[in-house]
């Protein structure tokens, strides 16, 4: 399976758990604000992703990530650089 797909699914899973929704109900490209998430929610999701994938997402980068797909793209790039 493609690594990007794994990261997308992994991040989407974190978002789904955070929202307490079935993973199938969250599209990876859904904007977080359209899901009813505020900036504090985003921070918690970013922290969960950092912990899961053992990476650090700079605050400036995290502020620009508004979907699970955007976070997954960052994770993939970060993991490739390790």
Residue 13: predicted pLDDT: 92
Q: Which residues contact 56 (CB under 8 A, 6 or more apart)?
A: 50
Q: Which residues contact 18 (CB under 8 A, 6 or more apart)?
A: 37, 41, 44, 45, 48
pTM: 0.86
In this predicted structure, the answer to whether residue 39 has a pLDDT above a threshold of 70 is: yes
Q: What integer is the mean pLDDT of 38-44?
A: 90
Q: Where are the domains of the chain?
A: 3-81
**Assigned CATH class of 3-81:** mainly alpha
In this predicted structure, the answer to whether residue 2 has a pLDDT above a threshold of 50 is: no
């Amino acid at each position: 399976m493609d690594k990007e797909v794994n990261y997308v699914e992994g991040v989407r899973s974190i978002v789904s758990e955070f929202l307490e929704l079935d993973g199938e109900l969250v599209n990876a490209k859904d904007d977080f604000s359209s899901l009813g998430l505020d900036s504090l929610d985003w921070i918690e999701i970013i922290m969960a992703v950092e912990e899961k994938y053992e990476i650090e997402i700079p605050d400036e980068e995290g502020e620009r990530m508004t979907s699970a797909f955007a976070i997954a793209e960052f994770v993939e790039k970060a993991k490739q650089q390790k």
